[in-house]
Amino acid sequence: MSLLDAFRITLRAIFANRLRSALTSLGIVIGVSSVIVLIAVGQGTQQGVTDRIRGLGTGLIFIESSAAATTAQTGGGAGLAESTLVQGDADAIEANAIPGVAGVASRVAIDAQVVAGANNVGATVISTSSEYGEVRDLGMLTGSFITPLHDQEGWMVAVLGTRVAETLYPGEDPVGREVRLSFGGGRLTLPFSVVGVLEEQGGASEANDQAFVPLTGLASRIRFLYTPTGDLRVSQIDVQAQSGADEARVKEDITELLLFRHETTQPDFVIQSQDDLISAATEVSNTLSILLGSIAGISLLVGGIGVFNIMLVSVSERTREVGIRRAVGATTRDIVKQFVTEALTLTLFGGLAGMAIGVGVSLAVDGREIGGQVMTMLIQPWSILAAFGVATAVGLASGIYPAYRAATIDPIAALRT
Model pLDDT for residues 355-377, shown as the tens digit of each residue = 999 899 988 888 887 776 778 88
Same domain, 235 and 258: yes
| Domain final residue, candidates 233, 267, 301 | 267
Q: Among the three residues 267, 297, 322, which one is the final residue of a domain in this structure?
A: 267
Q: Is residue 59 part of a domain?
A: no
Determine the structural domain holding residue 376 and report its residue range.
Answer: 3-52+280-416
Are 184 and 328 found together in one domain?
A: no
Spatial separation of the C-alpha atoms in residues 111 and 124, rounded to whole Å: 4
217 with 327, same domain?
no
Q: Mean per-residue pLDDT for 278-306?
A: 79
- The answer to whether residue 275 sits within a structural domain is no
**Mean pLDDT of all residues in 155-182:** 91
pTM: 0.65
Tens digit of each residue's pLDDT (9 = 90 or more) over 299-326: 777 887 887 777 777 777 777 777 777 7
Mean pLDDT of the chain: 82
Residues 88, 185: one domain?
Answer: yes
Least confident of 20-29, 149-158, 231-240: 20-29
Q: Integer distance in angstroms from the first to the last C-alpha of the chain?
A: 24
Residues 79 and 166 in one domain: yes
- The whole-number average pLDDT for the span 170-198 is 89
pLDDT tens per residue across span 95-151: 888 888 888 999 988 889 999 988 999 999 999 999 998 888 888 999 999 999 998
Q: Are residues 80 and 213 in the same domain?
A: yes
- Evaluate whether residue 368 is within a structural domain: yes
If one counts the domains in the chain, the total is 2
pLDDT given at position 369? 78
